[in-house]
Structure 1
């Protein structure tokens, strides 16, 4: 594996067909995908700290935000059971970042601090709105890719936005957490792994943010900075 390096492959409407053909050619061997999403923050906030809310209240806030807002980006990394990424017989292994057109930063409903953070990380909101992928085209492909095994970190919002995208335009999340979980299990064939939840059951203290966990495990960041 010496000499290999990782890069982020940006996926837009113009190169989407090429990238999905490549991904689907790799799926038989690289059956696990790690995902992360970027969205316009949250516009519905609780009156109390999160730890004081019931599970149903937390879900109702998640539902309100996801129903109203649109996904901006979805990052996807493929790997096999040995945690190897596809290198396509070259020196570069790609992590893909899908950009979507539905979010319009000129709309009033978004969290300004989240938009500012993404701008600082290089997201061009005019470009995503003009040249991004149509979520209605992406959703059916995503549904196929996620049937093997999906890895997230504190992935409630990630999962909710992916479910929304898989069902298509106009879809609203189901009313309760129990109903949502039932649908998600069917879509993912019960193969969802949330690293934050898994870390709680590890012998050593691995609780905390993702940066904290990878630091304790001495895992080096392979591709640029966070986000």
Structure 2
């Protein structure tokens, strides 16, 4: 299976294809690659402190890659159009980064010179995301692994300004833009059978990677495969959506979507 590479010159073509894709393949797994964490969390953080760390890092750093992988409700994927990797404009001569994370991405094959010259411009991607019908859509099931930063970067892109100071407002924005989402890390801890990173869980489930580790397209596809393996094994009849690992309460009680909230609460942030 080929991971389709998207740069600034072929975003429009990708948009036209994805608009048709989501009519049938409405499960979207995503992963982001970003230049590390410059504000390091302490060992014993609360859920609120985790959010403040996330907010600070997302606000000062820039996304490098975003991976989308598609499936239908049965886990079937479109043969030649399942996995897409969006490569954003990034200039490490100007943009902030953590050196260890930059080295990791370079060793994983990320070409930063190409990102500097041909990377997707942010305003173009925002236009793409809105036009594709991905947002505000209750039929779309979003899947990610340890997804706080993934959704954080997407929401900051959509807001075109810093994330809110308040974690409850962040969750309201999350539900506003992405009404149904699953966090694989949260699920794996709930089941008390799978611990560790994405590759460790994949190994235990005998799910195999396509593509390069630490690249967003490959990671999103692996996340998608793990999700449907877990779905089949554990939660066909249970409800585990709308939780973000480490932004939930420390005892893993659900950080549920808001039962009722007024759009005026997020008016200052919404597009």
Query: Aligning the two structures, in what range does the TM-score lie when normalised by the shorter sequence?
Result: 0.7 to 0.9
Match of 1:180 in 2: 170
Aligned residue pair count = 210
Q: TM-score, normalised by structure 1?
A: 0.87
Partner of 2:236 in structure 1? none
Conservation of the 8 A alpha-carbon contact between 2:28 and 2:143 = yes
Aligned partners of 2:92 and 2:105: how far apart in 1?
A: 12
Structure ranking higher in strand proportion: 1
Segments of 4+ moved more than 4 angstroms: none
| CA drift at 1:142 | 2.5
Does residue 78 (structure 1) correspond to residue 67 (structure 2)? The answer is no
Following superposition of structure 1 onto structure 2, how do residues 98-113 of structure 1 map, counting pairs within 5 Å? Answer: 98-101=86-89, 103-107=90-94, 109-113=96-100
Partner Cα distance (1:100, 1:123) in 2 = 11
Pick aligned residue for 1:64 from 52, 56, 62: 56
Q: Which residue of 2 aligns with 1:3?
A: none
Q: 1:11 to 1:77 in 2, by over 3 A?
A: same
Residues 1:222 and 2:204 are matched in the alignment: no
Instruction: Compute the TM-score of the two structures, normalised by the length of structure 2.
Output: 0.73
Does the 8 Å contact 2:32/2:67 carry over to 1?
yes
C-alpha distance 173-108 of structure 1, shift in aligned 2 (>3 A): closer
Q: 2:108 touches 2:212 (CA, 8 Å); kept in 1?
A: no
Contact 2:30 2:143 in 1 (8 A): yes
Alpha-carbon distance in structure 2 between the residues aligned to 1:156 and 1:183: 13
Contact (CA 8 Å) 2:51, 2:167: kept in 1 or not? Answer: yes
Q: 2:32 aligns with which of 28, 37, 40?
A: 37
Measured on the aligned residues, the alpha-carbon RMSD in Å equals: 1.6
Q: 2:22 aligns with which of 16, 27, 40?
A: 27
Query: Could you list the per-position Cα deviations for residues 83-122 of structure 1 after superposition, in whole angstroms to 9, with x for gaps in the alignment?
Result: 11112xxxx4541110111x31012621001111111111
Partners of 1:32 and 1:80 within 8 A in 2: yes
How far residue 45 of structure 1 moved from its aligned partner, in angstroms, is 1.7
- Once residues 85 and 95 of structure 2 are traced to their aligned partners in structure 1, the CA distance between those partners, rounded to angstroms, is 25
1:170-212 Cα shifts (integer Å, max 9, x gaps): x1100011110111011111x010011011222x611221111
User: Residue 149 of structure 1 corresponds to which residue in structure 2?
Assistant: 141
Task: Report the Cα distance in structure 2 between the residues aligned to 1:18 and 1:183, rounded to whole angstroms.
Answer: 29
Q: In the aligned structure 2, how far is the partner of 1:60 from the partner of 1:224?
A: 31
Three-state SS of the structure 1 residue aligned to 2:75 is coil
Partner SS for 1:98: strand
CA distance in 2, matches of 1:220, 1:180: 34
Q: Deviations over 1:45-89 (max 9, x none)?
A: 23x32xx012111111111111111111001101110111112xx
